[in-house]
With several copies, the nearest count.
Chain A
Amino acid sequence: MKKLINAPADVVVEALAGLAAAHPKLGVDLEHRVVYRADGPVPGKVGLVSGGGSGHEPLHGGFVGFGMLDAAAAGEVFTSPVPDQILAATQRADGGAGVLHIVKNYTGDVMNFEMAAELAEGTEIATVVTNDDVAVEDSLYTAGRRGVGVTVLLEKIAGAAAEERRGLAEVAAIAQRVNDRGRSMGLALTSGTVPAAGKPTFDLPEDRIELGVGIHGEPGRRRIPLPSAKEAATLLVEPVLAELQPSEGVLAFVNGLGATPLLELYLLYGEVAALLDKHGVPVVRSLVGPYITSLDMAGASVTLLALDEELLRLWDAPVDTPGLRWGA
């Protein structure tokens, strides 16, 4: 394992300390591994809290700041945070107008956030669970779909709604709408390496990729020959489009999984944009880069969000976080 770390056990705390050192607008509670707005909680604003396992940076700590999250709880690598942490984040975010929990749909995340919400007396909590990954078959009898790329877009858009001082129910409804209108699909060229495990989670021959991976270094739905970028775009976009009816144009998000450089992401974006054009789907906004990653996994995912007028306006609103920043 080749990583710029000290001891595997200290990775999460040390990375959080570095994040806070680099961004004076953020505070960090190292005991609870919570990143929070240094100027928070903002009185009268709905607080936005997310969290999950580490290894997905900049998600979630890098999305704390004006116009996005108020606090984020960082679990161990690929392990959801515990209720105490989520509770501490909730307190940091509570400006008296209630707190929205943004939870990616993984059994562990859902259960730990549930337990935290049960414990959070005196704070009104609403919860939105993202589950946008079309690689996973959805069924009443399974854990359901994973939350992936849509989470980034949701945190931005719901964050803007909260800055407008919308109430908790409204912010939660907007967040839910983002989840419902967004779908994602990913592929991996290589496995990532969990620091504590010390070696790659899976082996992948030079000429094979995993199609339908999430963001936890897990193997995907099937192993296929290495596709060209054009083929990759088709493999990622078609299953997403099969479930979306974008009428007013989409936000197209090409996400890097950690070790894939921008050169390739932009090349892939070009193929995605061309394919959407062929399908007559207008792209009105785009996002290209590593925003929800899977440690040092090479690969990419595509998320499409069917925008409407309000979602577009909220997406364009100012944001000031380490991971996304404009207009501020």
Chain B
Amino acid sequence: MIEAWIREFARLVVAEAPRLTELDSAIGDADHGSNLSRGLTAVVAALDEGSFDDDAALLKKVGMVLVSTVGGASGPLYGTFFLRAAGALPGGVPSAFRAGVDGVAARGKSTTGEKTMLDALVPAVEALEAGKDWGEVLAAAEAGRDATVPLVARKGRASYLGERSAGHVDPGAASAALLVAAAASTLG
């Protein structure tokens, strides 16, 4: 199931890469799609090759591959997400998710409302912890993603635009919603 989640996330990212890069062109540097699809293509290759003792080992591998292939801001952030999630997975999917999201916030020194991936991740993990079903969790992530539109960015490259960053979806929030969508269709 965990492996299916990752493979589905990879599929979505590769399919949506042009759109993610498009979003990053508006308020960033036009590479979010190529960054993530490079990383998740490497992840899929690692899954195809490797065999893992358990799902935690698999998630750890995912995190390490992302850290060492993505670069930019999203590499360390998604990498940290999976590395932390791996550590907490024995406690169940919701606690893995929580650990991952907290890891992103710690690594990025960021919080919600700053127009980042956290704006999609935090509502999702809160819904999950509240026992909502995956459909509702996904809806929370997508609502969080869409709610980034009016925000003025305070973290990441979009922050350099100041007021001009308002009016656009944050690319990282969009990719984070894909992560949750992949979870919803494989872990649900």
A residues bordering B, Cβ < 8 Å? 53, 75-84, 106-108, 111-112, 114-115, 133, 135-137, 139, 141-143, 146, 194, 196-197, 201-202, 214, 216-222
Q: Say yes or no: A81-B29 contact (C-beta < 8 A), given A107-B157, A143-B159.
A: no
How close is A29's CB to chain B, nearest CB, in angstroms?
15
- B76 lies within 8 A of chain A by Cβ: yes
CB within 8 Å of A: which of B28-43? 28-31, 34-35, 38
Q: Can you report 12 A-B residue pairs in the complex whose CB atoms are below 8 A from each other?
A: A53-B72, A75-B72, A76-B72, A78-B29, A79-B31, A80-B72, A82-B67, A107-B108, A143-B160, A194-B30, A216-B157, A219-B27
Within the assembled complex, what's the spacing in Å between the Cα atoms of A215 and B126? 37
**Contact residue among A82, A106, A139 (Cβ-Cβ distance under 8 Å from B157):** A106
Tell me how far the C-beta of B139 lies from the nearest C-beta in chain A, rounded to whole angstroms. Answer: 28
Assuming A76-B34, A112-B76, A201-B29, is B71 touching A82 (CB within 8 A)? yes
Least CB distance, B140 to chain A, in whole angstroms: 25
Minimum CB distance partner of A141 in chain B:
B154
Interface core residue of A75, A107, A201, A219 (most chain B CB under 10 Å): A107
A197-B34, A218-B157 known; A115-B76 Cβ under 8 A: yes
* Most A-side CB within 10 Å, residue of B35, B73, B154: B73
Smallest CB separation, B21 vs chain A (Å)? 6
Cross-chain contact A111 with B164 (CB below 8 angstroms): no
Scoring B residues 48 to 73 as 1 if CB is less than 8 Å from chain A, else 0, what string do you get?
A: 00000000000000000001111111
- B17 → chain A closest CB, angstroms: 9
Interface of B is mostly: helix
Q: For residue B59, give the distance in angstroms from its CB to the closest CB of chain A.
A: 18
Alpha-carbon separation in the docked complex, A290 to B72 (Å) = 24
Interface size on B, residues (CB 8 A): 33
The answer to whether B160 and A146 touch across the interface, beta carbons within 8 angstroms, is yes
- Does B107 belong to the interface (CB within 8 Å)? yes
Assuming the contacts A76-B35, A143-B156, A201-B25, asked whether A108 and B30 have C-beta atoms less than 8 A apart, the reply is: no
Q: Do A79 and B30 contact each other (CB < 8 Å), given the known contacts A111-B108, A142-B155, A219-B161?
A: no
Residue B118 CB within 8 A of the other chain:
no
Among A82, A106, A139, A220, find the residue whose CB has the most chain B CB atoms closer than 10 A: A82
Contact: B77 with A76, CB < 8 Å? Answer: no
**Nearest CB in chain A: distance from B174 CB, A:** 16
Which residues of B lie under 8 Å from residue A79 when comparing CB positions?
31, 35, 70-72, 75
User: How far is the CB of A201 from the nearest CB of chain B, in Å?
Assistant: 5
Residues of B within 8 A of A219 (CB): 26-27, 161, 164
B131 interface contact, C-beta 8 A: no
CB neighbours of B74 from chain A (8 A): 108
Q: Which chain A residue has the least Cβ–Cβ distance from B157?
A: A218
Q: What residue of chain A has the Cβ atom nearest to residue B156's Cβ?
A: A107
| Contact A78 to B30, CB < 8 A, known contacts A112-B76, A221-B161 | yes
A135:B35 contact, CB within 8 angstroms: no
For the complex of A and B, list the 3 residue pairs with the smallest distance between their C-beta atoms, beginning with the closest: A108-B73, A108-B72, A216-B29
B90 within 8 A of A: no
Q: Which residues of the other chain, B, contact A141 by a CB distance below 8 angstroms?
A: 154
B150: Cβ under 8 A from any A Cβ:
no
- Cβ distance B38 to chain A, nearest Cβ, rounded Å: 7
**A108-B75, A111-B76, A222-B164 known; A194+B70 contact, CB < 8 A:** no
Determine if B135 is an interface residue (Cβ-Cβ < 8 Å): no
Q: Is the beta-carbon distance between A83 and B68 smaller than 8 angstroms?
A: yes
B67 near A218 with CB under 8 A, answer: no
When A76-B34, A194-B29 are in contact, do A143 and B155 touch as well, CB less than 8 Å? Answer: yes
Cβ B160 vs Cβ A136 within 8 A: yes
How far is it, in angstroms, between the C-alpha of A78 and the C-alpha of B155 when the chains are bound?
17
A75–B71 contact, CB under 8 A? Answer: yes
A322 to B160, CA, bound (A): 31
